[in-house]
Structures are given as C-alpha cells and as structure tokens.
Structure 1
Amino acid sequence: MCQKTGHHFTKIALKPLYTNLFNIVLLSIFLSLGSGKSYSQDIIKKKSVIPTTNQIDSGKKDSTLKTPITVNQIKENDSIKIDSIVPKKQFLDGKVKYKADKYAKIDQKKKLITLYDKAELYYQEIELKAGIIVLDYEKNEVYAGRIKDSTGKFTQFPNFKQGANVVEPDSIRFNFKTKKALIYNSRSEQGEFKIKAAVTKKENDSVYFLKRAIFTTSKDVDNPEYYFQTSKVKFIPGKKVVTGFTNMVIANVPTPIALPFAFFPMGKETSISGIILPSYNDSNNRGFSLQNLGYYFALSDKYDLTVLGDYYTNGSYGLRFESSYAQRYSYRGNINVRFENLINSERGYPDYSKQNIYNIQWSHSKDAQASPNSSFSASVNLGSSKYFKQSINQLNIGSNLNNTLSSSISYAKTFTTVPQVRMSLTATHSQNTQTEEINMTLPTLQLSVDRIYPFVGKDGVRKGFFKNINLQYNLNGRNSIVTTDSLFFKPQMFRDAKVGFQHSIPLSTNFKLFKYFSASTSMNYEEIWYTKTIARNYDEDQSKVIDKVVNGFDAFRTYSFSSSMGTTIYGTFNFGKDKKIKSIRHVMRPSVSYGYTPSFERYYDTYASDASGTMNKQYTRFENGVFGSPGLNNSNNLGFDLSNTFEAKVTDKDSTKVEPKKIMLLNNLNLSTSYDLNADGITTLAFSPVRVSGGTQLLNNKMNVNFGATLDPYAIDNSGKRVNVFNIDNGGSLFRMTSSNMTLNYSVSSKEKDDSKKDKNVQSQRNGGREDDLFGTNVDLGDSRRSLFKEDEAEGEDKISEFFNSKLPWDITFAYSLTYGNNNRENKIIGNSIMISANADITPKWKAGVSTGYDFVQKGVTFTQLRFERDLLSWRMDFNWSPFGVNANWGFFIGIKSGVLSDIKWDKRSVINR
C-alpha cells in the first residue's frame, strides 16, 4: 500500500504459527512500540490512488504520455487512515500539463518529474520546451536544458515563453511560486533588438537583471556584425533597457565609442519619443552647420510629431514640423511645414543677402467605407516659389525643375433625394514658380441636380427623340484670387478677389438616325451673377482710359445651341489563314458637330478712347469676370473629328494556341478641325488648323510612343501673319506644318513587378517632381536611412545560384523628346533631348544606379547623378554624386538600418551654394 510521505512504519506479516504463538505475537508488539512513533488520526474519505499503469519505467517509452498528465494527480493515501494534520495548500494555482517523446519519469521519493527528448511543459501563461525538463514539485521549481544528439552536438535548446516574452537560453531554472528564474546564455528579441546574456536573473514578471550582455539589431545574435557590450543590465520587457558602461563592438573589435551608461527604448509600439541627433556639415558661404537636430514626439497611436532644425554659424537657420496621423477605417494623412531663414555671406560684404522661404505640404484621404455619401481629400503643396531651388535641406532636382506647385482640398456630399443632388466644395491653388503668379479659388461651390426625363412613361423606357429629352440644373460659385508671392495672404490679396455664380440648365436628347448614325442635340441656358463690375471712361486728369470698380449685384444671361452626329465604320483586310499576319482591322469613328451662339450686344456699352471723344469703342461691364463675359459676335461653327484605331491578328508563337493573337498597331490616330460659317476672310479665316495626334505601344507594350502635329491650310505673309490664301495656292503643299512633337518612353526590368508595389519616388511627387528617377532620386537629408533604390522583395537573400545564371535585378528607364517648330517659317528643331536612368545589383550586396541625359539642341549633358549602395546587413552605406552643373553635389552615408538606432550614423555631404 502507498503510505504518507515522511512517516516511518513497520510492516507486519502474519503467518499461521503452530508453536509459542502467544509469546511470538507479544514480543512483536513490544518491538513495534519501541521502535515506532504514535500518531492520532482522523478517518477521512479515501482518495483514489495513482494507477500502477502510470508508474513509468525510466527505461521505456509509454504511449500514454501523449495525453497530458496533471501534477495534481500525484498524491498518496494511507492504507488505513489519513493523518489528522491539515494538508498544506497545493503549491500550484493551476494544472501543469506535460509530455515528452522518449520518456516521462516520476520519482515520488525525490518529488521529481523528468521529461526527456522534445519535452514540453505548460502552466498558466508559461510554455517551456526543451530537450530535458525536470520538475521538482516539492521545491516548486523547474529546470530545462539541452541534450546531445548522436554526433555529440547540443540540440533542442530550451524555449521559455511567458506571455509575449520569449527566451531561448542554454538552460533555465524557474520557480513557479516566486516567479524568479536563473537563465544561462539567454537569447531574446524585444522589438528590433536581439539580446544575448551570459547570466540572466528574472526578478519578477517585469524585471530582469543581465550579466555580460550584448544588444544588436543583427539577424544572427550569436555571430553579429556589430553589438553593444555591457556587464550590468536592468531589463524591463516591452519598455526599456538601462545599462552600465556600454561599449560598441564592430566585427568583434571594440571601438572607442563608449558611454558610461545607456538607455535603449524597447516599446512594443511602432515609435517612441526621443531626441534626433544632428549631422555636421560645412558650407563656403554659410559656415559650419548642424542639420536635422530635433525631437520625435510619439503623441499617440493615431498621430505623431517630428520637430527638426538646422543652424549655420552665419545666422541661417531652418525649422521643420512633420506629423502623420491615421484612424483605422476612417482617414489618414500627413503634414509637413518647412521654414528657412537664409543668409548668404556675411553682413557688410557685397554678396550679402537675407530671405525667408517656406513650404507647406498636406495630404489627407478618407476611407470610402467610413461615409459612403460623403468624401474629403486634400493634396496641398504651396509656399515660396524658390523654395526647392534655394532650400539648404532639400536635394531633389526633379522638384527644382518643376515650374508649377498645385493644391486641392475638396469635400463632396450626395443627398439621396429624388432626383439626387450632389454638392462639392473645393479650394484650389496653382503657382508658377517662374513668374511667381498664384491663382487660387477659395472656394468653388458646385451643386448639381440629377437628370430629369419629363417625357418618360411609366414603363421607364427612354427610346426615341422625345422620351430621351432631359434637363439638369448646375450651380457653380467661385471666389477667384490672382496674386503673387509678395502679396500672398495679405489684405490686398483678398480685396482683389472676384466672386461669381454660374447657373446653367442644359436641355438635351439623343437618338438614332438612319439606323447607323447616333445623333444628339442640346440647348443650354446660362445666367451669370457678379458682385463687381467695371465702368470704363477716359480720365482727362490722367490722360488715359481707366476702369472703375463698381460694387453691387449685376447679372447677364446667355443661351446656345449645339448638335452632333457620328457613326462607326469597321474595315477588315484579310491576308489569308496560312499567313503570319492573318488580318488587319481598321475602326473609324467620324463625327460632325454644329454649334451656334448668338450675339449679346445689349450687354455692351461704348467709351471714348481719347480726349476728343470722337473715337468710341465697345466694352462690357462684365469684362474680367470669373466666368467671362457675354459674346459680342455670334458664333456659328462646324466641327469635324475622325478617330482611328488599327489592330492586327497574327499567328501566336505558342503552337498550342488555336486562336490568333491580337496586336494593337495604333491605339489612336485622331484628326480634328473646324469651319467658321461667319468668317469674313479678313479678320477671321474659315478653316482652323488641323490637329493630328496619335499613340501606340511597342516592344511588348513596354515602349509608349506619342506624336502630334498642327497642319495649317493657309499661307502666311512676310510678317508671319496668316492670310486668306490656301498654302497650296501660294506654291506650297496642301498643309503647312507649323509644329510637331514626338515622345518615347521605355521602361524595362529584369522581372515583372506589380506597379502597386513599386517605390514611385513618393516624396519627389509630393514636391512636384516626377515619379521616376530620370532626374535622380529624392534625397531627404532628414532621414538618410532610406534606400536610394527600389527595395527588392528578396532583400538579404542570395540572388545568384550559378555564375552564368544571374538573378540580380536591374531596371532601365528611357525617355526621348523631339519638338519641331515652323510657325513663322523658322523650320528648326526646338527641342531634342534624351534621358536615361538605370539601376542594377552588381553583386547581391552592391547596388549601383545612374541618371543622365543629353540635350542635342543646347549640346550639353543634362542633370547627371551616380548612386552606389552597399548592404552591410544591419548597416547600410551609400554614396551619391552629381559631378557637374549648378546642382553639383555629393553625399556619403553609413549608418544602422534600424529606426531605433538611426542616430548611430556618419553622414557627410557637400552643400549646394544657392
């Protein structure tokens, strides 16, 4: 029988004796009383005994171990009575489940459970896996370690998981009750950090003390290319690491970089507040500088803020505020505000100058599912016209060469009425960086009521001329401002604003004509409201004609008529089924349109253009209005348009395919012109120039070809003015080509990629530049950790399997532009340039790129940039160089990729003297 542990009993075996039975029994009783101890016992209900089948032989593997066994089952019962002493409370608050592949041995005398080979133990939130696990259920401790395989190599290292924290040591000793542990040669991950320590003492669930520890962001913590070494560490998982003396080691060589103490943030969140260390630079005309010194504020999970600053010893400085925000399933966006106070040279020198420049960028998008009937979006890029040319913290040639900054903020809402009503409010901004002229609308109101079909029957069928008649109502209100950089957001800017409202009611219908023709006709009524008009008179005091602004409501009304008719003509030329080119299909879509607008002379007045008052001219008080002015002359025009597409069917190279392959020869070939029925042949000419445009795709749709030309049927005189004489009657050809252009764009790479996954040079686009890298890549001096190249999906992997079977990625972008001008018989090439950008991985770890071009008219090399990058595993090194031109510069960077240690870098670059 199983007896209670810790008590001593003498077993009595009774056998039938036939001699001296009484004396033998009496002697046995006295011997037992002399050597034993007496206990008082209470009779308690007996509990089940561990079945003998669970007593596992240490040398055998029992299949029953595949079902987890609980430690609470390991109890012993007195064969007669239970001790009257109240049993101690179980040391575990829950069940312990365990299993092992080879064997699970229970030693009741030593209170040990030994698990061997792929051992696993589970208790509450603790998971422990190892080669060997020993559970001491009397001391409330568990030990886990490695085991050796058949070759003598250690295998099955322990894996200790408590909640979200995972430790992979050589061995571990853990107390279930105190939650304390001793861990030897532990390996763990905290965010981007990997930590290895010789000895780790787990004080409680939230505090660890480490001895002889290293920290690194390298993938291989056992053989890192760099690490931080320290002797004493206090580690709080998910929050921080505080160390004593810390030394940086690169390639197992200690460096002079050391700190008396160190603090490493270990937050689980994507970002943690902290100081951003600056980079050092020098400039010929601004002195020495510290760039990008700042602080990052992780304000919440929804938004953050980065504050950066630059300072030059001559007094120049710059400030930048960057913030990103997002609300899941609702909206997302970012804001960048940049300001720079630039001082050139030193006060007192002839080249001394001082100016302020700024740039504001805002991008916002709303999730369509958040509110299906309304939307809000913003794309803002405004500021000083010379910002990207003169900024001391921007290196982006594509932005420098862009002549336009534009912005748009819009809100739209749909009212689910019958008929449906749509409303939108839009604020726009367009800025020419060359002329510094700014055009803004603050705001534009658009309101439209859905089409109404008054003659449709109850069946809802709209067929024929009358049933297709429909009308609509549109309202367009606009507050237009035209200003310059110097007056931007000053009172005069708003005083010069022009306000107007345009009401329009279009009435239209469409129908079939002669079975094969589609016809449409429409009549449009417009009413324009203005809050300002002009009164024009000759001012004798100033001896000139002046316009006086008249404030007050005024309006004019116009109407017009238009009609069009078109058809589609199909033509196919068959070469034969046995030919490689089986057929060519030509689709033509000719159309004729007519438009008439009467004269609205009643809105015109006269004014004296000189002091005598004898020369009177006509004008309208609605001139310079937002929506224009009523026409003085009636318009009576015929329009002609012809669009063409050409497609071929060819034999497919794939012999298994039966159907021929379709190839587009010309995506479009369009011709358009018009005829003025009111032309007098003197002031106006009847025919307008013929505009030809077209485009196609070549080389497996990788090359886009677009072309256009303007053909004038009239001749010109010696002064270059068009005259009412056809060019062919003047000794020339039927048409005189006044201008033409052609562009080629070709892009190819070593492998096809989904366009949605490509790095589209986003920051360059936000600055107003191109999405490709023909003008180089955007260099953000505030974050040099970003690669100058498009990230490859297989980064870090070996990309070469054989010497002649290269898998190294590459890409080439090619653009060519040709422009011809002959408006005044100059007959010359106005523009002729080529640009090329190429990127390639010359080895699995080396990347190189070049952007360059040549202008055949100016006979010079266009902007050129050379790029090199080396993947140093946990580190990245790059060098970019623009060798010549007004934007010549170079830059070198080496630093840790991880955002947590982004301040550990060396960044040296020349500063463009702007």
Structure 2
Amino acid sequence: MQTNIPNSLFCFVFTLFFSLVLYPQEVETSSIPVRAEKDSIAPAMNADEISRQLQQQDTTKTDTVRKPQFLTDIVTYTATDYMRLSPKENKMYLYNEAKIVYGDMTIEAGLIIIDNSKNEVYAYGIEDSTGVYVQTPVFTQAQRTVEPDSIRFNFDTERALVHNSRTQQAEFNVKGMVTKRENDSVYFMKNVRFTTSEDVDNPEYFFYARRIKFVPDKKIVSGLVNMYIADVPTPLGLPFGYFPLTEEETSGFIIPSFGDSQYGYNLQNGGYYFAISDYADLLAVGSYYTNGTYNMELTSNYAKRYRFRGNFSVRYEKRFNSQRGFPDFSESSSYNIRWSHSQDAKANPSSRFSASVNLGSSEYYQESINQSNTGNFLNNTLSSSVSYSKTFEGEPQVNLSLAARHSQNTRTQSINMSLPTLQLSMSRIYPFAPSVGAKKGLFENINLQYSLRAENQIETTDSLFFKPEMFRDAKLGAQHSIPLSTNFKLFKFLSVSTGTSYEETWVSRTFEQSYDPVLNEVIRDTVNGFDSYRTYNFNASMGTTVYGLKSFGKDKKIQAVRHVMRPSVSYSINPGFDRFYDTYERPDRANPDQIELVDYSRFDGTLYGAPGRNFSSSIGLSLSNTFEAKVTSKDSTATEPKKVTLLNNFSMSTSYNLAGDSLRLSPISLRGSIPIVQNKLDINFGGNLDIYALNNNNRRIDKLNIENGGSLFRLTNGSVNFGYSFSSKDFEGGEEEETDELENETFRNGGRPDDLFGKGMGPDGELFEEDEFEGKEEENENSWYNYKIPWDIRMAYSLNYSNSARQDEISAHSLMFTGNVELAPKWKVGVSSGYDLVNQGFTFTQLRFQRDLNSWMMSFNWVPFSNRKSWNFLIRIKANVLSDIKYEKRRERDRQL
C-alpha cells in the first residue's frame, strides 16, 4: 500500500481534533503507551531552537513545477520515550532510541523530527545526564552505513545533508565535515579525511581533502589532497587524487619504488596488475637500473573452489657489473620458473594432477638482485615434479601415472630430467583364492602382479639446458616386472613368505666396445635399435614376534616393562647372466707384451644398466626391538596407566653371501630412536659395525679385526641427529598450524617450511607473514597488562662420524636454531643462526625486528656477517590499497665477493 506522509499525518491530526477540541495547539496521542511527562534526560536542544535552526538551514526554493509526492514504500517509526505531534509546527518528534524505516533506508538517532510541510526528516544525538553527546544518528541504506552527528533527509528527492559523517568503504574509513547525498550512489563531501586506520577520529595518519566526490563501492575522486601523519601535515600532496574502493580485484598500474644500489639508481617492481577473471589474475612487474641492468617477472594465481588452485611465476634477469669499457665489466643473465598446482581431493577421486616446479639458472638464488630468500640460496638442490595419475576401477584394478621430473644441483650445475616417466601397475591377483571367505595356506595365497616403468632420462648441465645437445644423449628404456609370491603360517608362530620375480628390460640403443691399437684407447660405438634382456630371482623370508613382559606391581611408579622383538631371516638367489657379456682384447697394463681379455656388456651405460654377471646366494638377518613401559599417570583422575616408549624400533641387520669367496659378512647396520618428549623430541641414531680388518692401504681384507689386534667390531661410521620445536602454545594447550606449500613462499621454492635457515623476504624487503602478530593487547580482570608473551623455538642438531679408512674424525657437527618472541603485543623479534663445531664458526645468521604500528608496519632484517652481509629497513602502510606508500632503506651485500 502506498501513501503520502503529509496527507496521512494531517488525517491523523484531524481525527484527534474531533475527540480533543479543548487542546487545539498541542496534542498528546493516546495510542502510545508512554507517559507524557518530561524525560529525565533532556534533549540536546529544545523544539523551538531546533525549528529555528532548521528554518535557517532551509535555503531550498519551491519549484514552479510541483512533482507528485508519492512514496514507494511504507514508513514506520518508533521511539522509546515518546512520539509527540505538533500540529502548529506540522512536525512529529521522536525521542530516545528513535528509528525510522523507509524501504531499504533506516535512520536511528536519539532525536528525530519529521517535518510534514517539507517532507523531511532531521536526526540528532542527545545529551545524557553527564552532558555527553550520545545516540548519534546512524544512516543505513543498501548495507552501507553512515554515522554522522546530524542528518537532514528529504523523502521526495531522497537527498540528504549530513554533518561529521563516518563511513567505511573497502579498506578506507572516511569522515567528512559536511556531506551532501545526491542519491544512493553519489555523495559530495567537504573537509574530508580518509584513512585505513581503525580509529577515524584519532588516526595515525590520514589524507585531507577540501572537496571530494564519493561513489560507494567504486571510487573517491578528490581535489587537492595532503597527507597528515599524527595530525602533522607533510609535504606529500597531490593536486588531485583517485582512490578505488571496490573490494573486487581490478586491473591497474603498480607504482615502482625508488632506490640506489651497486647497479646505480633504480626503479623497482613497477608494472601492471591484470584482474583476468574471478578465477585467475596476472602480475607483470619489472625493475630497471641506470647501468642497464633490468629484470622482468610474470606471476599468476588461479583457483577454482572444490576443483584446483595454484600459481605460476617466470622471472628473467640481465645483470651488468661495473660500466662498459671498464676492465672489471661483465654481464650475466639468469632465469627462474616456478609452478605449483594442487587438485582438490573431491574434484575427481579416480584421477589426480599435481605440479611442483622450481627450475632455472643454478646461480639464480645466489645472484638475484632484488630477491632475498635465504631459505632457498642455502639449498643446493632444485627439484620439480609434474604428474598425472588415473585409476581404472575393476578386478583387477589398474593404476596409470605419467610424470615429468627434474633434479638440479646448483653447485655442480648438473641436471637430471625424466621426460616423461610412465608407470602402469595392476593390483594383486589371487588365482586360487576361494570366492568367499579368507585365504588360507600356501596354495590359496599365491598371487601375482604386473608393473611397467618406461622413461626417457636426460643428463645435462646448466649451460646446455633446453639446447639440442641436451636431447642427444637421452636414455630411453622400459622395464616390465612380474612378481609371484605366497605366504603362509608355519607352526602357528612363524610367518613365511616366498616368491620369484621376472623382469624384462627394453632399451633403444646399446654400446659396443673395442680396442684401437693405433689410438691406444677403447672405442665405444653406439648401436641404435631395439634390444632387451631378461632376469629373474628367487627369495624367501621367515619372521615372528616375541613378547617379553616384566611386572613390578601396580603400586610402583613404573608398573611394567615390555620388550617386543621381531627377528627375521631371508634368503635370496640371483643367478649370473653372463650370456649378456662380451670380451675384447687389449695389451695388459702390467705387462704390455701380454694380451688381456676385458669383459663388458653392451647394456653398460643404458637406462637400467647391465644385468648382474656374478651368481649370488645370500642370507639376510635382521632384528627389531621396541621397549615400552607402563607408568603411573600424573593425572589423579586417570584410571589406566600411561604408556611410554623407551626405545623405538632399534634394529640390527646384516647379510652373509654364501657364494662369495671372501668378505662374506656385510657390515652390521644399527638404527633406532630414543623418544625424549612424546611427539616432540626423538633422538635418532645410526651406525655401521664391520668385523673385518684394514690393511696398510686402509682396504678391507679377509681377516677379522680382532685377529689383527683390534676390537671385535670396527665402527666405520655413525650419526646422531634430532630436531626439537616448542612454543608458548605447548603450555597453553594450543595447536601448531600446518604449513601450506602453496602459501609458504620459501617452501614453494624448494626450501624448508620453517625459518630454520632464515625467514624469506619479498621483493620490497618485507618479511613474509610479517604482519601476523599472534599476541593481542589484553587486560585481565584487575586491569593489569596481559603478562603472556608468545614465543617459539626450533632446534636441529646433527653429528656424523667417519672411520671407514682409519680417519677417525667427526665429519659434520652442527647445531642450528631459530626463535621468535613477542616482547610486547606489537613488538616481535627473531633470530635464525647456528654453529658449526667442526669448522668453529657460525652458520648463516639472520636477525629480525618487527613492529606493528596499527595502520603501519615496520620491519628490520639484518645479516650481520658472512658474504651476504646486509640489512634492510622498511616502513609502509599495511593496507594493500596503499602499500606503495612506504619508506625503504637497505644495504645490499657485496656481490663481488
């Protein structure tokens, strides 16, 4: 139902006139169940003064053409204390928690006045008993809220005049002295301050403009604008300003940062951002230095909910050291390609595609000019993997995978690639199993499988990467494998398994060898064409589990100790395939007058190598031990004792070659771990013991070490290592957050997910995740400062001992650590370092200082020594829309080192 406010109100007043003729000047409505006495809280100003001020403010002239005054929706209004009609003034007064709703528009205030003659609404705050101005107006329309000191709104034109309005748009908080609402999408404001600070009345900084045009959810267009910091005007200003407000991603230019370095003055990381769609974007940035050095980078992020997500980056750098014509002038280039792709597990249960690519120049992380990712330049290996897998349901089930892999050593600049690798496998088939019920015995447990692995492997160097020479020596081959096995119980306690395996290997070329007496060297000829060989072997194993338990009584602290042993013995036979070997003649090196026959296989140097020539028959022995204890729980309410592991998986293994003529017993391998703190600290240890002695040339001889004047066993090598991390959350019952590879910059580039080797830095020098302060400023019931200080520590210890050739030395011994602590709710410091006990020196050390300045953030990163000695200071606005407003000062490392 549509109505007209003046007509409705006047009809209501005339009805009251007939019933209350004795009170023609001012009437109190009887339909409102509120007493007519004056409220104890007085209005901010009386009605006459309000009416007089409104008449002074009204400068609108009557239009010669009167438009129809029809409202498009019902107007409802409420108030807590009273609603008073004044027929003399033709106004209605709503006092204390007054509210008017008109369509999608809502006005709330302490005092609201409806002027029926002008069809306007006025809203004010009121003073409480202490004289504080409270219940200031709140204007809401279409999910946009404005909180001014006063409002004047016209129902006909839907225009409004607002004083000291406060509103939030995107990341901006806007406050204007006078606001004129033209319509629901355009506002004109005078004497405006806008900031990303949460407190718009007392911001840390703000931009001041005399006049602006404000389009909600779209833009702010201003005239002369100045920047104020702590209410102090700065010389930073613009003749005009344009500030986008959309919360959606939009395309736009990225302002570069200015600086100077050993390459000269520069403009860094300027470019353009492309908001391609809701699912993908593209960032194109570059840097230029006055000596000619430049770099370019393309970065794209993409995601589709419940399907996949990932990112892609390509970066190229061209560096010029010194100046052309100088004797120390040199130039170099490097590139880096990164791609991470993750498929949602629910997208397609039968197939999966994933990618983790990090390849490029070996010196990229060491020489990159405005990248400082410490976790990556300490890593000597770059690796990549792109794979697709598909499962074909049925009986039997078939799994297919296709992958491309890459491994690169940045020190030796060697690259190994597999383009591609095809794997096909079939699930186990039990041809003699019963159709129903469990499989029993030797015959019913007979099973076989089939698997295929085919790949094209490339070995090259950094200088030949993606050049024709790279593919010239590629190795192509395939290997078929059919294992046949069965298992059964023997004497109810022994588990026995036995089987055989057949393998057939295909290659695309072989190598013939011959001796050239003229050149006095071995000639290796490549024979292109299909060739193959077949191998097979037999194996059997038997094992059991032995339990030992010692009880001390339930009244003891240690109630019982249990020892679990898992001994096993295995036997394998590998026939000799000497039919795949040939010989060639050459002069004997010790006696040139004699001729020696040299054995070789044409499959030497192929993808899977040559088959074994020597017959082997060996017995393998292994013993695994676990020690556990039941201890009385410290929790008095617990009804069961606590289970504690004392020694976890302490294993000993060796093998004895029955077909060998000497040195038949292999070194005894020892492995195990000692749990110190449950699920937090395990000390892992390992070593090898050899019973054979060494000769004067430190070579193993077929003589026991104890017979040579030594001990029964000779420790050839050993290792001890552990990693331990703990934080204040461990004492508060908190849980550590899992590392997301796609979100962690260092992890995505192949480094560690933690900051043990230092926290990564962005192109502008900011520390990754630097604005995530866990500590919050809180107060307890006594209004004292919250004394809890968040902190975290991570340590890694490693020791390696070598004595295989009587060197008797500790080859590696280091302790690395990293820690972060919030000294105050907005102060965070961190350090990553370590000490090499062998070389007597500190490892790479990084000191970090971070300060949360509410609307701003500040960070200082310092590498105090080493050839990467440098520091970087940065302070900038945290909001992304103004992240280009910053100050940065850095001292780069000396690249000539």
Give 1:334's aligned amino acid.
N
Task: Give the aligned partner of residue 258 of structure 1.
Answer: 237
Task: Give the aligned partner of residue 345 of structure 2.
Answer: 368
Task: Give the aligned partner of residue 672 of structure 1.
Answer: 653
Give 1:142's aligned amino acid.
V
Is the 8 Å Cα contact of residues 862 and 872 (structure 2) preserved in structure 1?
A: yes
Is the 8 Å Cα contact of residues 142 and 173 (structure 1) preserved in structure 2?
A: yes
Report the secondary structure of 2:753's partner residue: coil
Is the 8 Å Cα contact of residues 672 and 690 (structure 1) preserved in structure 2?
A: yes
Aligned residues: 844
Structure-2 separation of matches of 1:907 and 1:688: 61
Task: Give the aligned partner of residue 228 of structure 1.
Answer: 207
Is the aligned partner of 1:463 residue 2:440? Answer: yes
Is the 8 Å Cα contact of residues 189 and 213 (structure 2) preserved in structure 1?
A: yes
* 5+ long unaligned stretches in structure 1: 13-50, 63-86
Report the secondary structure of 1:465's partner residue: helix
Task: Give the aligned partner of residue 427 of structure 2.
Answer: 450
Is the aligned partner of 1:857 residue 2:835? Answer: no
Is the 8 Å Cα contact of residues 778 and 785 (structure 2) preserved in structure 1?
A: no
Task: Give the aligned partner of residue 153 of structure 2.
Answer: 174
Shift of 1:785: 7.0
- Which of 63, 73, 83 in structure 2 is aligned with 1:104? 83
Shift of 1:496: 1.4
The C-alpha deviation readout for 1:383-430, integer Å capped at 9, x for no partner, is 111111111122233312211100000001111233221111011000
Task: Give the aligned partner of residue 395 of structure 2.
Answer: 418
Task: Give the aligned partner of residue 185 of structure 1.
Answer: 164
Shift of 1:744: 2.7
Is the aligned partner of 1:525 residue 2:502? Answer: yes
The C-alpha deviation readout for 1:743-782, integer Å capped at 9, x for no partner, is 1322121123423356889222222222222222111124
Give 2:855's aligned amino acid.
S
Structure-2 separation of matches of 1:808 and 1:139: 61
Task: Give the aligned partner of residue 765 of structure 1.
Answer: 747
Report the secondary structure of 2:443's partner residue: coil
Shift of 1:114: 3.5
Give 1:732's aligned amino acid.
G
- Which of 269, 280, 283 in structure 1 is aligned with 2:258? 280
Relative distance call for 1:171 and 1:823 in structure 2 (3 A) is same
The farther-off stretch of 413-422 and 482-491 is: 413-422
Structure-1 separation of matches of 2:657 and 2:228: 82
Is the 8 Å Cα contact of residues 321 and 336 (structure 1) preserved in structure 2?
A: yes
Shift of 1:273: 2.6
Shift of 1:480: 0.7
Structure-1 separation of matches of 2:486 and 2:318: 61
Structure-2 separation of matches of 1:516 and 1:792: 58
Relative distance call for 1:851 and 1:259 in structure 2 (3 A) is same
The C-alpha deviation readout for 1:591-615, integer Å capped at 9, x for no partner, is 1111212111222222234599942
Report the secondary structure of 1:526's partner residue: strand
Give 1:725's aligned amino acid.
K
Relative distance call for 1:358 and 1:100 in structure 2 (3 A) is same
Report the secondary structure of 2:619's partner residue: strand
Report the secondary structure of 2:483's partner residue: strand
Structure-2 separation of matches of 1:241 and 1:805: 40
Shift of 1:550: 1.3
Task: Give the aligned partner of residue 116 of structure 1.
Answer: 95
Is the aligned partner of 1:296 residue 2:273? Answer: yes
Task: Give the aligned partner of residue 676 of structure 2.
Answer: 698
* 5+ long unaligned stretches in structure 2: 1-7, 19-27, 40-65
Structure-2 separation of matches of 1:785 and 1:229: 31
Structure-2 separation of matches of 1:538 and 1:3: 117
The within-5 A match list for 1:726-737 is 726-737=704-715
Relative distance call for 1:153 and 1:605 in structure 2 (3 A) is same
Is the 8 Å Cα contact of residues 872 and 891 (structure 2) preserved in structure 1?
A: yes
Give 2:612's aligned amino acid.
G
Structure-2 separation of matches of 1:534 and 1:788: 58
- Which of 623, 626, 629 in structure 2 is aligned with 1:648? 629
Task: Give the aligned partner of residue 184 of structure 2.
Answer: 205
Length-normalised TM-score, structure 1: 0.88
Structure-2 separation of matches of 1:782 and 1:281: 11
Task: Give the aligned partner of residue 816 of structure 1.
Answer: 797
Task: Give the aligned partner of residue 757 of structure 2.
Answer: 775
Task: Give the aligned partner of residue 548 of structure 1.
Answer: 525
Relative distance call for 1:648 and 1:841 in structure 2 (3 A) is same
The within-5 A match list for 1:373-412 is 373-412=350-389
Shift of 1:831: 1.6
Relative distance call for 1:786 and 1:107 in structure 2 (3 A) is farther
- Which of 133, 136, 155 in structure 2 is aligned with 1:154? 133
- Which of 679, 689, 692 in structure 2 is aligned with 1:714? 692
Report the secondary structure of 2:302's partner residue: strand
Give 2:666's aligned amino acid.
S
Shift of 1:107: 5.3
Task: Give the aligned partner of residue 888 of structure 2.
Answer: 907
Is the aligned partner of 1:846 residue 2:827? Answer: yes
Shift of 1:371: 1.3
- Which of 812, 815, 818 in structure 2 is aligned with 1:831? 812
Relative distance call for 1:623 and 1:218 in structure 2 (3 A) is same
Report the secondary structure of 2:638's partner residue: coil
Relative distance call for 1:116 and 1:356 in structure 2 (3 A) is same
Shift of 1:106: 4.8
Structure-2 separation of matches of 1:256 and 1:98: 49
Is the aligned partner of 1:311 residue 2:288? Answer: yes
Structure-1 separation of matches of 2:480 and 2:232: 78
Report the secondary structure of 2:441's partner residue: coil
The C-alpha deviation readout for 1:567-605, integer Å capped at 9, x for no partner, is 111112222323222222111111111121211122222
Structure-1 separation of matches of 2:378 and 2:257: 27
Relative distance call for 1:590 and 1:201 in structure 2 (3 A) is same
The C-alpha deviation readout for 1:637-694, integer Å capped at 9, x for no partner, is 211121111112222222232322222212221211111111111xxx2111111111
| Percent of aligned pairs with the same amino acid | 53
Relative distance call for 1:219 and 1:571 in structure 2 (3 A) is same
Relative distance call for 1:400 and 1:261 in structure 2 (3 A) is same
Shift of 1:101: 2.2
Give 1:776's aligned amino acid.
G
Structure-1 separation of matches of 2:10 and 2:542: 107
Task: Give the aligned partner of residue 66 of structure 1.
Answer: none
Shift of 1:730: 1.4
Structure-1 separation of matches of 2:587 and 2:172: 84
The farther-off stretch of 637-646 and 533-542 is: 533-542
Give 1:774's aligned amino acid.
L
- Which of 729, 742, 747 in structure 1 is aligned with 2:720? 742
Relative distance call for 1:4 and 1:876 in structure 2 (3 A) is closer
Shift of 1:177: 3.3
Structure-1 separation of matches of 2:259 and 2:781: 39
The C-alpha deviation readout for 1:304-361, integer Å capped at 9, x for no partner, is 1112212222221111111111111111000111111112222333332211111111
Task: Give the aligned partner of residue 104 of structure 2.
Answer: 125
Structure-1 separation of matches of 2:783 and 2:817: 30
Structure-2 separation of matches of 1:539 and 1:254: 88
Is the aligned partner of 1:508 residue 2:508? Answer: no
The C-alpha deviation readout for 1:1-35, integer Å capped at 9, x for no partner, is x99869999x99xxxxxxxxxxxxxxxxxxxxxxx
- Which of 666, 687, 691 in structure 1 is aligned with 2:665? 687
Structure-1 separation of matches of 2:826 and 2:778: 9
- Which of 462, 465, 478 in structure 1 is aligned with 2:455? 478
Give 1:690's aligned amino acid.
I
Length-normalised TM-score, structure 2: 0.89
Aligned residues: CA RMSD: 2.8
Structure-2 separation of matches of 1:6 and 1:581: 89
Larger radius of gyration: 1
Structure-2 separation of matches of 1:155 and 1:804: 30
Shift of 1:798: 6.1
